[in-house]
Structure 1
Amino acid sequence: MAIPDVPAAQPAPSKADRAKVLLPPKGRYRLGALLRAPNRVLHPGQLIEKELEKTAAAPKTAKEPNDQFKGTTAGIVRGLQRVKLCDVTMDDVIAGRHTPPLTLRDFEDFLCFREKSAENLYFHLWLDEYRRLYDRAPASKRSPEEVMTLGQSFKTACDTFFAQSSPLELNVPSDMRRDIDSRIASVEQASAAAPSNEAFLPPQAFDKLHDHTHELLAMSFRSFRKQVVRNADRNRGWFAMFLGILTWALGLIPTIVCCVLDKSRGWRAFGLPLWWFGTVVAVGGFGKTCLVIYLFGDNRQLYPWERQEYNDAATMSSSSEHSSVDPWNASSASEDGRSSYAAANEKRERSPPATPAFTSTLPESASRRSSQHSPLSDLGYFPLRPASASERSGSGSRSGSGSRSPTGRSSTTPGGLYFAPAAMELPKSSPTWESFTKMMSPIVARAQRDLVMTAAIYGLVVMVITGAICLAVPNRSR
């Protein structure tokens, strides 16, 4: 029987189904998009807003998935026409009030694969949900089911964020860690002495930790906002810089020819367009913004982890395996009845600090890529809400504090939350000619237009300076 008033976790999606909903669609170079480039420069984001309005107005069928890459927040985005990227808040992104590349999924990917600090986001989400469950009813009026739900949620948080063996252990100052460890230990002792007592802490006990992790998360979010404006990865950026410098150098050819052959200085003006265009391309590449991609639409290159997920989806599409793992039972009790957090802390007192769990819990073969097995298959979803009692009884025997399902754990969050082991050997950058996907945020489109216009202004300055120097160079006297 399901726990009253507590939403049950949805069945875990297969890799193929998850790819259909969560992976961004690949784009193609189209001549029509190139013809609309002037509109994107003069009215950035206008075409995206019209597309979002059209998608929002279209009738939705019951079978149609809630695809976040089709503009499900068109109404809200439409109301943010004049909002700048610096005004976008982290709370709005987490709440799902923006479209790609400003979704919770995009922010989570950035934390998982770029900064390796997804635990701060997961702790923030868990504490919000835990506080909501805790404040639902006074302590004297809680039903046994609600007490059990809070206890399971608290136990999962202890094993996830405070156990040394957890890949999502929080990185907090030692004084905060000692304080929360002592609080958790007191709850463990009280629960062992009187099992009928409530074996969990109030949300206020985590306030200091939350303030610290929220500050770290805000710093990561500022870096994330800088990344979303870029439409190219590092390799493409280096190529654009090389191409821009080469184009600028080609503009010197008319000047050199005129000097050597003693021709009219007017022929040197043929280098002006090359000096301007080469500077624009080079400055754009320095900011990881490819002018070619921009001219063909509001697009961005696929990231390395997205390429890997496409490979995973293609590999797993032929498999029909589908498992369901109980989220709240991810932290099962040990044989003597204690939680894995208590067992890990006792082990930590008797032994020296272990290596980080991200690298120590995965076998060496898990970090090698092959067509049969990919590290992304080991990603485990971190849920926010408990499953029903029937799901818990059916899957509790299979779950453990360190287990991972090949098809991923169930999730009820918009982004399908997961964590990425540090042992994953993903390239630092996508290939130069990697496919691109469409961006659906008018705010990002306006910010990207500003970058292109800034590069154009730099191009004008460099063109004037280079042109003045080249025109002043005298011809070679015979």
Structure 2
Amino acid sequence: MGLLPLNYRRPNYVNGEELRRNETGTEVDEKIDASLKSGRSGVSPGIPGALAFDKIINGGTCPPCTVRDFMNYLIYIEHAAENLQFYLWYRDYVRRFSAAPVSETTLSPEWTQEMEEETIATIQRDAADQAKKHSPIAREIFRGTDFEKISGIPVESQNPFSTPPRSSAGDSVSFSGSQATTYVSQAGDAFVAAGAKQPFTIQPFRSEINRVIATYIIDDSPRQLNLSAREQKAVVRALSYTTHPSALLTLSQNIENTLRRQAHPNFIRWTICNGNPARVTFARGLGVGTLLVAMIGSIILTLSKAGRGWRALFAILWVVGIATLITAAKGMCVVLHGLHHRHVRPWELFLDDSDAGIEQLCEGNRSFDSFGSCNNYEDEPWIVRYQRRFYVRKVFDREVWIQEPALRQIQDTIFLQSMLFAVLGAGVLTAVFVAVPAGNLF
């Protein structure tokens, strides 16, 4: 594969707060559709088509850019693996529901957009009514908001893109795991707390939907999704009506939007780094040391009686030092890049035939279970073993070859960019020292 354009920039880091904007389901759907048509993430120009979100999810990439690597990143780095776990389950659920007999699926009618909007409006109205009952100054609190329009208070102007206030803590669908012993009873408590009717148990996949509610929706669930109180209630009410995939459509679109626009660019940005933090810090120190040697040597030769041509020899050190610093700033080590290697991740480092390695491998496989335990890794044996590892040993940790061609292409481009900047900078610095008259001090 050739190089990317020289003006290439790696994906920018996407902050979750920046992503949480008031987007309607249609806007999210349009962004996802544009992403699917382009074959790219649709967000960052720093992600080539070969590393698009759909390529990774569908198994079209090689290590370290596979869906398993993506899952490990979400577990150990971003701490949001429940989004990908839910997304993978929902894709499979849509396929299985579509393949079910029509005689069964007719028992679960579609949850329409009108029903969704009506449910949300009801939840907002109930929240406003409850707030009015508990607060004597509610009229002032809700002045200028959507709740003011609902409660009959005149509004001079309404912003259709404003975000309604979140419900109070008392309005959320809240229950702890100790209040129910099984996912069936937990789901039943969820329907009661959300003010929904108990569903028909004869609907197809009703047992599985109950497990979804107990695993992803309710408070203190093992893999609780990041939902507001209003979203939580709306989903539970939709699921009490039907097990049709459309009941989870809005939620799945929001989750997919987060994965595509935040988790995926951040994963690619993180994967570009071929060295662990210890190695990158070491590379930065090496770059600074090389530049200091070049600086001191150039100054000494300038002050001496040596010919000006000798000062130009330090251009080599200038190039090496500047290139090392630039690549280290992007999480890369030039030595590892020369071999197209990367450091083994800490959670991969101790995967061997020992009992600890086998146990960790089994834990990794369970991360793809739709209804597994919480994504907690603090008790995994590799953490203590890696913390006890000496710093020098971390710098020279085990390396593996980078199999993904598109990732090597990105790293080659970044390395070439750093070399070009280094040559330019070294040329300027060398010209300055060569132009200075000799000091003839010794």
The one-character-per-residue Cα deviations of 1:433-453 (angstroms, maximum 9, x if unpaired) are: 111111111111111110110
Contact 2:304 2:440 in 1 (8 A): no
**Which residue number corresponds to residue 103 of structure 2?**
140
| Map 1:40-51 → 2, pairs under 5 A | none
What's the Cα RMSD here? 3.4
User: Is residue 288 of structure 2 the alignment partner of residue 248 of structure 1?
Assistant: no
CA offset at residue 277 of structure 1?
1.2
Partner SS state of residue 303, structure 2: helix
Contact 1:251 1:270 in 2 (8 A): no
Contact 2:320 2:422 in 1 (8 A): yes
User: Is residue 409 of structure 2 the alignment partner of residue 474 of structure 1?
Assistant: no
CA offset at residue 137 of structure 1?
3.3
Query: What is the letter of the counterpart of residue 251 of structure 1?
Result: A
CA offset at residue 172 of structure 1?
1.9
**Which residue number corresponds to residue 349 of structure 1?**
none
- Alignment counterpart, residue 237 of structure 1, candidates 275, 280, 295: 280
User: Is residue 225 of structure 2 the alignment partner of residue 170 of structure 1?
Assistant: yes
CA offset at residue 84 of structure 1?
8.3
Q: State how far apart, in whole Å, the 1-side matches of 2:328 and 2:95 are.
A: 46
**Which residue number corresponds to residue 118 of structure 2?**
none
**Which residue number corresponds to residue 154 of structure 1?**
209
CA offset at residue 109 of structure 1?
0.7
| Map 1:25-424 → 2, pairs under 5 A | 85-87=47-49, 88-141=51-104, 150-184=205-239, 186=240, 201-218=243-260, 219-296=262-339, 298-310=340-352, 313-316=353-356, 381=366, 419-421=375-377
Q: State how far apart, in whole Å, the 1-side matches of 2:430 and 2:251 are.
A: 58
Contact 1:232 1:290 in 2 (8 A): yes
Q: State how far apart, in whole Å, the 1-side matches of 2:250 and 2:105 are.
A: 26
How many residues were matched structurally?
300
The one-character-per-residue Cα deviations of 1:154-191 (angstroms, maximum 9, x if unpaired) are: 1221121113232311002332112113334x35xxxx
- With CA pairs under 8 Å and 6+ residues apart, which has the higher RCO, 1 or 2? 1
The one-character-per-residue Cα deviations of 1:71-95 (angstroms, maximum 9, x if unpaired) are: xxxxxxxxxxxx9843232112111
CA offset at residue 377 of structure 1?
7.0
**Which residue number corresponds to residue 68 of structure 1?**
none
**Which residue number corresponds to residue 138 of structure 2?**
none
Flag the 1:133–1:376 CA change in 2: closer, same or farther, 3 A: closer
Contact 1:236 1:432 in 2 (8 A): yes
Partner SS state of residue 437, structure 1: strand
Query: What is the letter of the counterpart of residue 381 of structure 1?
Result: R
CA offset at residue 253 of structure 1?
4.0
**Which residue number corresponds to residue 397 of structure 2?**
434
Q: State how far apart, in whole Å, the 2-side matches of 1:285 and 1:303 are.
A: 18
Q: State how far apart, in whole Å, the 1-side matches of 2:296 and 2:258 are.
A: 51
Partner SS state of residue 300, structure 1: strand
Q: State how far apart, in whole Å, the 1-side matches of 2:99 and 2:436 are.
A: 80
Partner SS state of residue 135, structure 1: helix
TM-score, length-normalised on structure 1? Answer: 0.56
**Which residue number corresponds to residue 22 of structure 1?**
none
Q: Unmatched 5+ residue regions in structure 1?
A: 1-39, 45-82, 188-199, 320-373, 386-400, 405-417
Q: State how far apart, in whole Å, the 1-side matches of 2:395 and 2:336 are.
A: 12
Q: State how far apart, in whole Å, the 1-side matches of 2:377 and 2:429 are.
A: 50
Q: State how far apart, in whole Å, the 2-side matches of 1:120 and 1:422 are.
A: 20
The one-character-per-residue Cα deviations of 1:421-478 (angstroms, maximum 9, x if unpaired) are: 4666576999211111111111111111101101101111210121122123332255
Flag the 1:159–1:309 CA change in 2: closer, same or farther, 3 A: farther
The one-character-per-residue Cα deviations of 1:11-50 (angstroms, maximum 9, x if unpaired) are: xxxxxxxxxxxxxxxxxxxxxxxxxxxxx9x889xxxxxx
Q: State how far apart, in whole Å, the 2-side matches of 1:384 and 1:305 are.
A: 19
Q: State how far apart, in whole Å, the 1-side matches of 2:368 and 2:288 are.
A: 49
Q: State how far apart, in whole Å, the 1-side matches of 2:362 and 2:218 are.
A: 23
CA offset at residue 204 of structure 1?
0.3
**Which residue number corresponds to residue 26 of structure 2?**
none
CA offset at residue 282 of structure 1?
1.5
Q: State how far apart, in whole Å, the 2-side matches of 1:271 and 1:287 are.
A: 25
Contact 2:104 2:203 in 1 (8 A): no
Query: What is the letter of the counterpart of residue 54 of structure 2?
Result: D
CA offset at residue 250 of structure 1?
1.6
Q: Unmatched 5+ residue regions in structure 2?
A: 5-44, 108-201
The one-character-per-residue Cα deviations of 1:223-267 (angstroms, maximum 9, x if unpaired) are: 111122221122211111111121122223442332333221111
Q: State how far apart, in whole Å, the 1-side matches of 2:394 and 2:207 are.
A: 44
Flag the 1:380–1:459 CA change in 2: closer, same or farther, 3 A: closer
The one-character-per-residue Cα deviations of 1:105-134 (angstroms, maximum 9, x if unpaired) are: 111111111100011101111111111111
Contact 2:94 2:245 in 1 (8 A): yes
Query: What is the letter of the counterpart of residue 258 of structure 2?
Result: L
Identity of aligned residues (%): 22
Q: State how far apart, in whole Å, the 1-side matches of 2:397 and 2:367 are.
A: 30
Contact 2:305 2:439 in 1 (8 A): yes
TM-score, length-normalised on structure 2? Answer: 0.60
Contact 2:275 2:331 in 1 (8 A): yes
Partner SS state of residue 231, structure 2: helix
Partner SS state of residue 354, structure 2: helix
Q: State how far apart, in whole Å, the 2-side matches of 1:105 and 1:182 are.
A: 33
Partner SS state of residue 287, structure 2: helix
